[in-house]
Chain A
Amino acid sequence: MAATSTKAEPAPLAPPPRRRGRAFQRVLRAVPVPLAVLLTIVVLIGLFWALLVPPWQAPDESDHFAYAQSLAERLALPGSPHRSTFSSDQLLADQIVGADSLALRANQLRPNWSSRASAQYRAAAGRGLSRSDGGGPNPESYDPPLFYLYTDVAYWATYGGDTVDRYYAMRIWGIGLLALTVVGTWLLIGELLGRRRVPQLTGAAVVGLLPGETFISTSVNPDALMIPLWTLALWLGARVIKRAGRPRDMVLLVAVTAAAVLTQPISYALVPATLLALILGLVNCRREGRPLRIGPAALAGVACAAPVIAWIATRAHGNPALAQIGAAPGQRPRPFSVRGFLSYVWQFYLPRLPWMARERVTPGLSVYNVWVREGWGTFGWLDVAMPSWVYTVVGSFTAIIAVVGGAIVSTFRGGLRWQLVGFFGLALAALLLGLHVTEYRSLINHQGPFLQGRYLLPMVGLFGLAVALVLGRLPRRWQGPACATLVPAMLLLQVLALATVARTYYT
């Protein structure tokens, strides 16, 4: 009834402030209490991470900061061969803190602990060194600019401060992305399992409290934006398929996919799954309704493809749009062979067979070292690790979820469920294929291993869904206790991870 009476009234051009305030209150009231509490926890822990990690001690963070600074100060992408990579402003902070020396040597060195040096830095930074003389060759210049534009909002907001002020503001700003990943996971589980708060809370908590995820989301790194965008794309794709291609969902899915592509080139791997979701959404809707749905989706596709094409076009004569892998100096690259690639993939996931040539020269099984250890969390420049038994425990948990989840999926009946499995499977397979091809190319060019656990984090929402699915199949009387075990266990893991970082850098 209320909706009818609202429609009858003439719509005002701009709602008065009080009504806008009420709408905001309605949105707040619509947030389920468990989700609101979980978000509070995640924000709190995110703030701890953002402030605890020493300056530029996340992978490639100096280069990402230099990119963001170039964009913020010069409104120009980095890569000019006539400029230096880092600004004088960034170099001063880097040198005094000892950030460059500390990178990859966290177990041998410590950051500068001198309060006198800290005061000296403040005085030197106050003299106004140039912030705009960077923007030179940057190994990250193939990255599209969307994340950097996002993080530059924090840069500009703290423009009056020194480098350290601006850098930490950017890290804190990343907490919003972490919260978005949690919300995306909550919505994804809710879409597929229905309004079931215990599985939703458990799945979203596992994602939001995963130490590797909190570490990356609160560092200056485009992965921080790519993870929530992929999570939202998984949710929207599931919605498009399940709700038979509602125009708004399709438009949002296309927009989120385009945003992911404009964040990290590996997100091109999301495009096939998005196209599949759109096709399945249209297939699932009534035939007579299809023309009405194709129009908005096509329009959105064109509108969202435009910036992507524009980005690729700008790269045509300058920096590449993808990570370039050339041969190592003085080394002759091996040719790409399908047989060699399959052998490499085998060795990544399974022990090498006697007749196979060694493809990845790292100790142990790569699937464990890269996807499990680094995915759950190794910090700093991947040189700060939690005790080994922790990875054994979380690796066992991951394996149980994967096996039981796979067994549950194998019992699925009905086309819609398999459509969803196909959509998620295609997204995962395309991401893995893209990553493995890139690493194999790196290996045959003698550039060494390329993969890091964080590259799998875009699929973290799917892991949360798998946890919720497994928990949701437990007898009802066990679901509460299982949730009451997993949530504090994830909090304890966070404490352990933070303590690991603290003991490495500050003792």
Chain B
Amino acid sequence: MIVFAAVAVAGVGALLAAAAADQRWTAFSADVPPSQPVTALSPGQQFCQGPLKAIVGFGSVRAWVSPNAPPGAALQLRVRSLSGATIASGRIPAGYGHFFDPTFNLGVPVRGSRRVYVCLRSAGPEPVTLLGANRRLAFLFLRRQPQSLLSLLPTVFKRAALFRPGWVGPWTFWLLLIGLIAAFVLGGIAVAQAASSDASDRAGPSAP
């Protein structure tokens, strides 16, 4: 039992420490895979997509691009309100190769629950192909500050409860997490029972 407890406590402790140190950046995604060319941006041309709902606040945006002839052109990404006003913007310099996934760090963060347009403009000189699927661009929205996996646990369970049977809610996953902790206790009981049973068998038929 001592060995079991030592392995379990040390292991759980290590996992908790790893979860606390695991910094997660993703805020949400546009749910469009970067699987095919959507449009080619000529110098000075702009392509906007939206309106998109910012599920949570974000500070940068990742896109998927591929220059027709490397090196790729400088690109500017702007986040606009429904009225067309620029809320935030970021840019990447020229000089990248084929199939690049640049991260645009925005000057100011965009708060959650806003409905926005996301626009990309090329500075040229060569055209750049924007990637996505079904005439929609692929975007991944990143947080301003990363959050640890451990601190995100309530969010994880809230998200995991969506598109589940009606009886499932975040509480179900909290309960399962408690069950997972209980599994270590149960595992200890199983090992102790097995060892005790084998010891009884070895002691001979007179043993209980």
**Chain B contact patch, size range:** 35 or more
Residue of A nearest to B189 (CB): A37
Q: From the candidates A34, A108, A109, A161, name the one contacting B193 in the complex (CB within 8 A).
A: A34
A480 interface contact, C-beta 8 A: yes
Q: From the candidates B3, B53, B163, B180, name the one contacting A97 in the complex (CB within 8 A).
A: B163
- Is A110 a contact of B193 with CB atoms below 8 Å? no
Residue of A nearest to B149 (CB): A503
A38 to B3, CA, bound (A): 18
A483 interface contact, C-beta 8 A: yes
Shortest B140–chain A CB gap in Å is: 7
B173 interface contact, C-beta 8 A: yes
- Is A110 a contact of B29 with CB atoms below 8 Å? yes
A491 interface contact, C-beta 8 A: yes
A25 interface contact, C-beta 8 A: no
Which chain A residues (40-73) contact chain B, with CB distance < 8 Å?
A: 40-41, 44-45, 47-48, 51-52, 54-55
Shortest A228–chain B CB gap in Å is: 20
- Is B15 a contact of A492 with CB atoms below 8 Å? yes
A422 to B188, CA, bound (A): 36
Shortest B191–chain A CB gap in Å is: 5
Q: Which residues of A contact B166 (CB under 8 A)?
A: 161, 165
Known A109-B29, A491-B183, A499-B149: A121·B163 in contact at CB below 8 Å:
yes
- Is A506 a contact of B155 with CB atoms below 8 Å? yes
Residue of A nearest to B197 (CB): A197
B67 interface contact, C-beta 8 A: no
A97 to B159, CA, bound (A): 12
Known A37-B193, A38-B190, A198-B194: A115·B162 in contact at CB below 8 Å:
yes
Known A51-B173, A488-B4: A113·B165 in contact at CB below 8 Å:
no
Interface centre among B3, B138, B160, B162, by most chain A C-beta atoms within 10 angstroms, is: B162
Q: Which residues of B contact A479 (CB under 8 A)?
A: 198
Residue of B nearest to A53 (CB): B160
Known A52-B160, A483-B195, A489-B11: A44·B34 in contact at CB below 8 Å:
no
Residue of A nearest to B176 (CB): A48
Q: Which residues of A contact B188 (CB under 8 A)?
A: 484, 488
B186 interface contact, C-beta 8 A: yes
A117 to B30, CA, bound (A): 13
Q: From the candidates A105, A495, A505, name the one contacting B180 in the complex (CB within 8 A).
A: A495
Query: A193-205 vs B: 1/0 string, CB under 8 Å?
Result: 0011110110001
Known A37-B193, A489-B11, A499-B149: A506·B198 in contact at CB below 8 Å:
no
A390 to B165, CA, bound (A): 33
The interface stretch among B19-27, B39-47, B71-79, B91-99 is: B19-27
A111 interface contact, C-beta 8 A: yes
Shortest B63–chain A CB gap in Å is: 11
Q: Which residues of A contact B70 (CB under 8 A)?
A: none
Q: From the candidates A40, A111, A487, A503, name the one contacting B191 in the complex (CB within 8 A).
A: A487
Which chain B residues (137-163) contact chain A, with CB distance < 8 Å?
A: 138, 140, 147, 149, 152, 155-156, 159-160, 162-163
- Is A34 a contact of B197 with CB atoms below 8 Å? yes
- Is B198 a contact of A197 with CB atoms below 8 Å? yes
Which chain A residues (93-108) contact chain B, with CB distance < 8 Å?
A: 93, 96-98, 101-102, 105, 108
Q: Which residues of A contact B133 (CB under 8 A)?
A: 101
Q: Which residues of B contact A169 (CB under 8 A)?
A: 165
Residue of A nearest to B195 (CB): A480
- Is A164 a contact of B164 with CB atoms below 8 Å? yes
Q: From the candidates B12, B26, B53, B172, name the one contacting A114 in the complex (CB within 8 A).
A: B53
A362 interface contact, C-beta 8 A: no
Interface centre among A93, A158, A165, by most chain B C-beta atoms within 10 angstroms, is: A165
Q: From the candidates B180, B193, B198, name the one contacting A33 in the complex (CB within 8 A).
A: B193
Q: From the candidates A45, A54, A498, name the one contacting B163 in the complex (CB within 8 A).
A: A54
B1 interface contact, C-beta 8 A: yes
Q: List 20 A-B pairs, Cβ < 8 Å.
A: A34-B197, A38-B190, A41-B190, A48-B179, A51-B168, A52-B173, A108-B34, A114-B162, A158-B165, A197-B194, A484-B3, A484-B4, A484-B188, A485-B7, A491-B11, A492-B7, A496-B15, A502-B156, A502-B160, A506-B152
For the complex of A and B, 3 pairs with smallest distance between CB atoms: A197-B194, A484-B4, A37-B190
Known: A164-B163, A492-B12. 20 other contacts (CB 8 A): A52-B160, A108-B29, A108-B34, A109-B29, A110-B26, A111-B31, A111-B159, A169-B165, A198-B195, A476-B202, A480-B3, A480-B195, A489-B11, A495-B180, A499-B19, A503-B24, A503-B149, A507-B24, A507-B147, A507-B149
